[in-house]
């Protein structure tokens, strides 16, 4: 199967509603990632046959969890996952991509321009330094331990908002180390088509007083 067929098959298997135009943009994003990766080392993935499953379909598992959120922060966005695929499929959500690596944010800026993503802004810097901004959904993919993730971003979570941490194997030890002000809303095992590895979504929120 080529990239287009792999993406179509994966989307169908996941039961997602993604237009032909959005699928085309997702594939454009993959081409940008491949082009820039040669010089900017955006991803450790070297086998191009796996790029659809590991970067697109894996990112798209976030879509059902965005729900009613209108603002989203992708922390440690790196090469733009899951933020850019989410932005392509949910143009109604204002998404901020944050990364401390300026090479990566240079790529993100370029990708946003080339893909015409009007709902995305890119910030270069450390998450602790971000102020005067709040998001209804804060997400990360393989960014940091859960306790660090919520600790560094607690000041950025809007009232009633939630964290959506994308993890590999079930992070039992990390959940035990969560700070007292946070509770686990739910954890779900995810099935990513064409990807033979464990994936989990951990949804967290601040405890109500």
Chain centroid, CA 26 distance in Å: 14
| DSSP string for residues in 66-113 | HTT-SEEEEET-TTTTTHHHHHHH-TTSEEEEEES-HHHHHHHHHHHH
In 3D, which of 117, 62, 68 has the Cα closest to residue 95?
117
First-to-last alpha carbon distance for the chain, in angstroms, is 52
Q: What are phi and psi of 71, to 5 degrees?
A: -135, 135
Q: Is 128 annotated as ligand-binding?
A: yes
Q: Is 158 helix (H, G, I), strand (E, B) or coil?
A: strand
Per-residue burial over 75-101, b if 16 or more Cβ lie within 10 Å, else e, is bbbbbbbbbbbbbbbbeebbbbbbbeb
Residue 141 is assigned to a ligand binding site: yes
Distance, in Å, from the CA atom of 89 to the CA atom of 22, rounded to the nearest integer, reads 6
81 is in an annotated binding site: yes
Q: Taking the mean position of all CA atoms in its chain, how far away is CA 3? A: 20
- Report the binding-site residues for S-adenosyl-L-methionine: 76, 81, 127-128, 141
Q: Which residues are annotated as a binding site?
A: 76, 81, 127-128, 141
């Amino acid at each position: 199967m080529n990239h287009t067929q792999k993406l179509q098959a994966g989307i169908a298997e996941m039961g997602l509603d993604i237009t032909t135009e959005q699928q085309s943009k997702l594939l454009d994003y993959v081409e940008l990632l491949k082009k820039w990766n040669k010089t900017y080392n955006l991803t450790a993935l070297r086998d191009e046959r796996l790029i659809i499953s590991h970067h697109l379909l894996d990112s798209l598992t976030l879509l059902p969890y965005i729900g009613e959120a209108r603002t989203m922060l992708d922390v440690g966005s790196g090469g733009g996952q899951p933020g850019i695929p989410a932005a392509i499929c949910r143009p109604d959500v204002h998404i901020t991509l944050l990364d401390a690596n300026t090479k990566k944010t240079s790529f993100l800026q370029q990708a946003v321009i080339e893909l015409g993503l009007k709902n995305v802004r890119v910030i270069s810097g450390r998450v602790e330094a971000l102020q005067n901004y709040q998001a209804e959904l804060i997400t990360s993919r393989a960014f940091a331990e859960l306790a660090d993730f919520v600790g560094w971003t607690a000041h950025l979570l809007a009232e009633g908002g939630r964290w959506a941490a994308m993890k590999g194997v079930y992070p039992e030890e990390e959940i035990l180390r969560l700070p007292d002000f946070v509770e686990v809303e739910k954890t779900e095992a995810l099935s990513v088509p064409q990807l033979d590895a464990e994936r989990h979504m951990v949804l967290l929120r601040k405890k109500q007083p």
